[in-house]
Amino acid sequence: MGIIVDVRWVVPPQPRVELFAAIRADPRSGMPGSARVLSKLIGKRCRNSPTQPHVLSLGIVVVLLEVGGMYLYYLTPLFGYTERHMWAHVVVHLHMFAAGCLFSWYVVGRDPMPTRPSILRRGLVLFVAAGAHDVLAKLMYAHTLPADAGTIAQLRDGAQLMFYGGDMIDLLLAAALMTQWYARGGRELDRSHRRAITLSAH
C-alpha cells in the first residue's frame, strides 16, 4: 500500500503545505496498480535490448525525479503558482506520485526492469535520497518555506513532520532492502549446498 505524507491537518486548507512526497510501496504485496503500469512503461524495451538500461531505471535519474521535484516545489515560487492554478497543482502531485512509485520500484520493487541494480547500488540511491530529503526539510524549517503558506509555527510543524515521517519510511525501505539481500544470500547458499551434495554423490 502506498504511503502519502500530507500535512493538511497541520496547516489550514488555504494556504497550506502538502507534503505529498513520500509514496512508497509495501514490499510484501508488490506495488500498487499505478506502479505496475509505470514499471511496464519503463521496462517495455527489455525484450528488444535487455542489456541497455532505460534512462528511467538509472539511479541518478530516479533520485532527481524523486527529490529534485520536491526541491523545486517547496523552495521556489512554484508552490504559490500551484495554489493559484489547479491544473498545475494536479500536474505537480501526479509527478510526485509517479516519482514515488518509480523510487519504490527501483529500491525494493519485484517487477522486471532493464538491468536490476545490485543491492549496494540500490542502498546507495536510498541513502542519497534520504539525505537530500532531510536537507530539504531542514531548509524548509530554517527559512519557513514555502513562503506565505502559513504561520511560522505551522510551517515548522510541517517541516518536522516531513523530516521524521520521511526518515521512518526510509528506514522501512532499508529494512525491506536488507530482507531481500538476506533472502538472496540464503538462496545462493542453498544452491551451493545442493551442488556440493550432487558432486559428492558422484
Give 104-159 pLDDT, tens digit per residue. 989 988 766 667 788 899 999 999 999 999 999 999 999 999 988 888 999 999 99
Give 172-189 pLDDT, tens digit per residue. 999 999 998 887 665 555
Helices (H), the chain: 33-43, 59-63, 69-75, 78-84, 86-108, 119-142, 152-201
Query: Is 52 part of a structural domain of the chain?
Result: yes
The total number of structural domains in the chain stands at 1
Query: Is 5 part of a structural domain of the chain?
Result: no
Query: Is 47 part of a structural domain of the chain?
Result: yes
State the pLDDT at residue 140: 94
- Domain span including residue 77: 33-201
Whole-angstrom Cα distance, residue 168 to residue 154? Answer: 21
Q: Whole-prediction pTM value?
A: 0.66
Query: Is 162 part of a structural domain of the chain?
Result: yes
Amino acid at 35: A
Whole-angstrom Cα distance, residue 125 to residue 136? Answer: 16
